[in-house]
Amino acid sequence: MKKNIVNACHVLTLCGLVLVTGASAIGNSRSDGSVSYPEGYRGWFRVKTALVSDRHPEFAQSGGFRHIYANPQAVAGYRDGTFADGAAIVVDWIFAVEKNGAFSEGDRRRIDVMVKDRARFAATGGWGFEQFRGDSHVDRLVQSPATQCYSCHSSKGTRDAVFSVMEGKD
């Protein structure tokens, strides 16, 4: 009886690890070739945060807080410069609210998502791209990843099409 309980605990632990590992490699399961919403991304490693002010040329589209998150596969890619399949990066764009000289987070503008899968996304350097409007998990903004995303990201060839650099690695 005790052995069966121990074995059951091992099976449940293994199932939990499979679920967590699968969740960290988001975006690889949609049959239509698009990238899924990255559930739980705020629990991933925070690569860096920036505040885009009204003096920035793209403030109208991207002003506010910019948090960048990476799943474990992407963290390894930031460290060694090569992003393996399953790597996922999220840029969380949030309006900044200023009150008496102090800034806090307002509403979410959008999130940008990159998922590495060389087989599925060969035409865009192995990366799948998506943007989700505000807090929506279904309101997608990317119509043509090759022209809307990869045309700029491809300029970062020496960094596997990734613009951001992990804090402390600049």
Per-residue pLDDT tens for 112-151?
999 999 999 999 999 999 999 999 999 999 888 888 898 8
Integer Rg of the chain from CA: 18
Position 5 pLDDT exceeds 70: no
Instruction: For residue 111, give the 3-state DSSP assignment.
Output: strand
Spatial separation of the C-alpha atoms in residues 158 and 77, rounded to whole Å: 12
On whether the CB atoms of residues 89 and 126 are closer than 8 A, the answer is no
Tell me the average pLDDT across 30-53.
90
Tell me the average pLDDT across 8-37.
50
pLDDT at 31: 54
pLDDT band at 79 (very low <50, low <70, confident <90, very high): very high
DSSP codes joined into one string, 33-78:
SPPPP-TTGGGSEEEEEEEE-TTSTTHHHH-EEEEEEE-HHHHHHH
Q: Which amino acid, 50?
A: A
DSSP structural state of residue 14: H
DSSP structural state of residue 140: B
pLDDT band at 101 (very low <50, low <70, confident <90, very high): very high
H or E segment at 109?
strand 102-116
Mean pLDDT of the chain: 83
Q: Quote the percentage of the chain above a pLDDT of 70.
A: 79
- Number of C-beta neighbours around residue 156 at 10 A: 13
Task: Give the residues across from 68 on adjacent strands.
Answer: 48, 91
